[in-house]
Amino acid sequence: MVCRNLFTRVALGLAILMLAGCGTKQAGCANIAANGSAGRPSHAEMTADVASAKPVPSDAVPGVVLPDTEALWIHDPVGRDYPIWVALPAGYAAHPKQRYPVLYVTDALYSFPLVRSLRNLVGQHGVNLEDFILVGLPPQQGLTSKQSRSRDYTPSTPVRRSPDDFSAEEYGGAAHYRDFLATTVLPMIDARYHTDPARRAFAGHSYGGLFGAYVLVTRPELFHTYILSSPSLWYDDHVIDRIERNYAKDHHALHAQVLLSVGSYETFGPGPRYFHQNNMLMHNRSFAQRLRSRHYEGLKVETSVIEGEDHFTVYPTVLTRALIAIFPGTGPYVSG
């Protein structure tokens, strides 16, 4: 099921607003003309008119529609329905034979409009960034973001040591969600759009980054590039390390490009922007060292610490730098 960018809906809503305004203005103009023919209205008449005036309600447009986007609905056979959001490059329709790289982003309620804006602004019509198709992965229909991501992005059910630990209803659904993407979402996107499956990229932050790390060490062939921003590697006593060890027992190759990033405040420190429980800066460094020590064939790992950023602020910078690195444009680079 597809809902294309609804310019007609927006246009209709704007037309309703304009008509409502025009109706008010026309009434005002008629009053002025009538008063003008009888002479200038008195101060008492003007005061009475103002006192009796009532605001005219306008019909609100139901939501904001982003140009060059589509909303798809995909059914998971276990009984779940997911929206899938797609943002096409501005020149997509004019180049039907061109194949585009695709970037999949988790937590699409936040990341989809962010990455779309970065692509359009930083990209400068292909000069700074190569045009790419953006696919957003929002929460399951009927669930909150917390409910959906806590289940779909985590690889195990953690031990709760206190009532404050892991407050969502369900965890441990990453394997199912990974396979749902592999068997349903990715093939559907490749069949529907002009994609280059060999240049499929993934981006996730926090739990989304954990999910990306999980896919990396279980089914790495799903994506060529993994942008892992502040991944929650601490989750369930570092279960991701145990999963990676299992992968290493049977595999000598891991063909992927991995960009691991974290904010400089994501460690222990005295101020409010620092963490007090998880040293994610150290976790990122350890995970990168572990991957490099395996000497996997085909694996490239790059790490970065973004100065002056914390867990809530780091992702836009991570995405901007990663997009420039993995999707360079035709150049030369322009910056204003």
Residue 131's contacts (CB-CB under 8 Å, 6 or more residues apart) are 89, 90, 91, 92, 100, 119, 123
Report the pLDDT averaged over residues 115-119: 97
Residue-wise pLDDT tens digits, 278-295? 999 999 999 999 999 999
Q: Is the pLDDT of residue 25 over 90?
A: no
At 273 the pLDDT is 96
Q: Are 156 and 210 a contacting pair, CB within 8 Å?
A: no
Question: What confidence category does residue 6 fall into, taking pLDDT thresholds of 50, 70 and 90?
Answer: very low
- The 3-state DSSP class for residue 257 equals strand
Q: Distances in Å between the alpha carbon of 320 and those of 132, 163, 201?
A: 14, 37, 14
Return the domain boundaries, the chain.
Answer: 2-52, 69-326
At 299 the pLDDT is 98
| High-pLDDT (> 90) share of the chain, % | 75
Q: Is the pLDDT of residue 332 over 50?
A: yes
Question: What confidence category does residue 23 fall into, taking pLDDT thresholds of 50, 70 and 90?
Answer: very low
DSSP 185: I
Amino acid at 303: T
Angle at 180 between CA 320 and CA 327, to 5 degrees: 20
Edge-to-edge, what's the strand order for the sheet holding 80-87? 2-4, 69-76, 80-87, 133-136, 100-105, 195-205, 225-229, 253-263, 297-306
φ/ψ of 237, rounded to 5, equals: 55, 45
At 127 the pLDDT is 96
DSSP string, 212-245: HHHHHTT-GGG-SEEEEES--TTHHHHHHHHHHH
Q: Which residue in 57, 223, 90, 72 sits closest to 138, CA to CA?
A: 72
CATH architecture of 69-326: 3-Layer(aba) Sandwich (3.40)
Q: Is the pLDDT of residue 50 over 70?
A: no
What pTM was estimated for this model as a whole?
0.83
Q: Are 215 and 223 a contacting pair, CB within 8 Å?
A: yes
- The 3-state DSSP class for residue 271 equals coil
Q: Give me the residues paired with residue 157 across strands.
A: none
Residue-wise pLDDT tens digits, 119-165? 999 999 999 999 999 999 999 999 999 999 999 999 999 988 877 77
Question: What confidence category does residue 47 fall into, taking pLDDT thresholds of 50, 70 and 90?
Answer: very low
Q: In whole angstroms, give the CA distance from residue 163 to residue 267.
A: 24
Q: Is the pLDDT of residue 16 over 70?
A: no
Q: Is the pLDDT of residue 41 over 90?
A: no
Q: Distances in Å between the alpha carbon of 65 and those of 10, 74, 328?
A: 7, 20, 28
At 160 the pLDDT is 81
Q: Is the pLDDT of residue 22 over 60?
A: no
Q: Are strands 133-136 and 80-87 parallel, antiparallel or unpaired?
A: antiparallel
